Amino acid sequence: MHDVMNKIVVGSSKLPFGGKTIVLGGDFRQILPVVPKGGRADIVHAVINSSPLWRRCSVLKLTQNMRLQFSNDIEENKALKDFAKWILDIGDGKIGTSDDGEAIIEIPEDLRVKSSGNHIGDIVEATYPDLIQNMGDYTFFQNHAILIPTLHLVEEVNNYVMSLLPIEEKEYLSCDTIGKCDEDVGIGRRWITTEFLNDIKCSGMPNHRLKFKIGVPVMLLRNIDISSGLCNGTRLIVKELGINFIGAEVVNGPHNGEKAYIPRMKLIPSDSNVAISFQRLQFPLCLCFAMTINKSQGQTLGNVGLYLPRSVFTHGQLYVDVSRVKTRKGLKILALDDSGVSSTSTTNIVYEEVFRII
Ligand SMILES: Nc1ncnc2c1ncn2[C@@H]1O[C@H](COP(=O)(O)OP(=O)(O)OP(=O)(O)O)[C@@H](O)[C@H]1O
């Protein structure tokens, strides 16, 4: 790296990145950059291929899905190839008739979860079969997750699973304080009570009231120590519930099995929907039996339960969901229609204009 950076070519200062070769990796079928309060045009405009730099890039394409586990069985491999093509067709928006980027697609029979009426119970049973018997199995949570479009539905499912576990729970309350700058500009402090701050729930921030049990899976919400694998998105299993720390074991990535002690931290919301600046002293953790589709981007999972009480709402969400698994058997989908009844179809959203400039 030192040699590469020291090699100076005359005139290279006028070239992008000083003439150095930069490798960008990505998949335009996946979820595009999040633009707070932005519409479709803003999102497409924020994609790298809308940048003037894109004209200077040469595109190399990867052709094989390495996540899907191919074997020596010819029949099995053929089925897996068909599944890989189905995933790509969802990503490219080739399934169903598209109406301005939105298409209704049929969910294959073998991927559908049969509903008994208790939708949350059904998706939990399909994703975490024999949950209570498997609780002690360290690898059980390594590979399983329920994916859901929105944060408040994620919380509902996490609370439901917690209520099933016959283990003592421990509650941790945060200490919330208003930011200094809001004090200075004289926002009527009597309106911003502690209870008001405690009620704020936003993405990337733990809630005021956290409840954990020994053995439950949690996700880190901040980078604590990247060299030890403790990053935003790392999943862990709770092993100790102390007063001022939570002991947990990492369950994914190269640091799998390593123990970490997580302290309370001062956290500031980055969500632009929160108009007040405040600070929350809390463990940077949330339960992760279920997680949002956006948070699952980049993960590889053995068993995915896709719960769609409402359909996906932006480009690439359905593709990200169905492409997290290693096998077709590992994917289960429960979609509901507008009246809350189990449905055989769901919506896929693909902004075709992002593929035009590749
Ligand atoms: N060359 C390879 N040989 C075997 N397995 C591989 C190879 N490359 C990737 N994989 C496996 O494929 C899976 C996905 O890899 P990785 O997360 O690096 O891909 P990605 O492009 O970042 O995926 P995505 O963007 O869909 O999240 C991992 O389980 C990884 O172990």
35 lies in the same domain as 69:
yes
Give the number of the atom of ligand 1 that is nearest the alpha carbon of residue 297: 27
201 lies in the same domain as 269:
yes
273, 289, 305: which is the final residue of a domain? Answer: 289
70 lies in the same domain as 117:
yes
From residue 346, give the alpha-carbon distance in Å to each of 90, 124, 335. Answer: 12, 19, 6
C-beta of residue 210 within 8 angstroms of C-beta of residue 321: no
Between the CA of 300 and the centroid of ligand 1 the distance, in Å, is 8
pTM of the model: 0.89
Q: Is residue 158 part of a domain?
A: no
Between the CA of 67 and the centroid of ligand 1 the distance, in Å, is 5
Residue nearest to atom 17 of ligand 1 (CA): 298
Rg (C-alpha) for the chain, rounded Å, is 23
| Residue 57 buriedness (CB in 10 A; 0-12 / 13-18 / 19+) | middle
Q: Is residue 19 part of a domain?
A: no
269 lies in the same domain as 313:
no
180 lies in the same domain as 270:
yes
73 lies in the same domain as 108:
yes
Contacts of 202 (CB under 8 A, 6+ apart): 269, 271, 273, 274
Between the CA of 183 and the centroid of ligand 1 the distance, in Å, is 48
Give the number of the atom of ligand 1 that is nearest the alpha carbon of residue 62: 21
Residue nearest to atom 9 of ligand 1 (CA): 66
Q: Is residue 5 part of a domain?
A: no
Question: Predicted ipTM?
Answer: 0.93
Ligand 1 pocket by Cβ (under 6 Å) = 27, 66-67, 298, 300, 323
Q: Based on the structure, what is the number of domains in the chain?
A: 2
pLDDT for the residue numbered 183:
54
Q: Is residue 132 part of a domain?
A: yes
199 lies in the same domain as 222:
yes
104 lies in the same domain as 209:
no
* Sequential pLDDT tens for the chain (358 residues): 777 777 777 888 888 888 888 999 999 999 999 998 899 999 999 999 999 999 999 999 999 999 998 888 899 999 999 999 999 999 999 998 889 899 999 999 999 998 888 999 999 999 999 998 888 787 788 789 999 999 889 999 999 999 999 999 999 999 999 877 655 555 566 677 888 899 988 888 999 999 999 999 999 999 999 999 999 989 999 999 999 999 999 988 889 889 999 999 999 987 767 777 889 999 999 999 999 999 999 888 999 999 999 999 999 999 999 999 999 999 999 999 999 999 999 999 999 999 987 7
Q: Is residue 234 part of a domain?
A: yes
| Percentage helix, strand, coil for the chain under 3-state DSSP, each rounded to 5 | 30, 25, 45
Give the number of the atom of ligand 1 that is nearest the alpha carbon of residue 67: 12
Between the CA of 298 and the centroid of ligand 1 the distance, in Å, is 9
Q: Is residue 14 part of a domain?
A: no
In a mutational test of the pocket of ligand 1, which residue from 24, 60, 67 has the highest number of ligand atoms less than 8 Å from its CB? 67
- Backbone angles phi and psi of 183, in degrees to 5: -65, -45
Residue nearest to atom 8 of ligand 1 (CA): 66
Q: Is residue 155 part of a domain?
A: no
Angle between helices 119-127 and 151-164 (to 10 degrees): 70
220 lies in the same domain as 312:
no
Q: Is residue 198 part of a domain?
A: yes
36 lies in the same domain as 126:
yes
243, 265, 289: which is the final residue of a domain? Answer: 289
170 lies in the same domain as 285:
yes
289, 313, 337: which is the final residue of a domain? Answer: 289
Residue 106 sits in which domain range? 24-148+296-357
| Residue 221 buriedness (CB in 10 A; 0-12 / 13-18 / 19+) | buried
Residue nearest to atom 2 of ligand 1 (CA): 66
In a mutational test of the pocket of ligand 1, which residue from 62, 300, 301, 324 has the highest number of ligand atoms less than 8 Å from its CB? 300
305 lies in the same domain as 283:
no
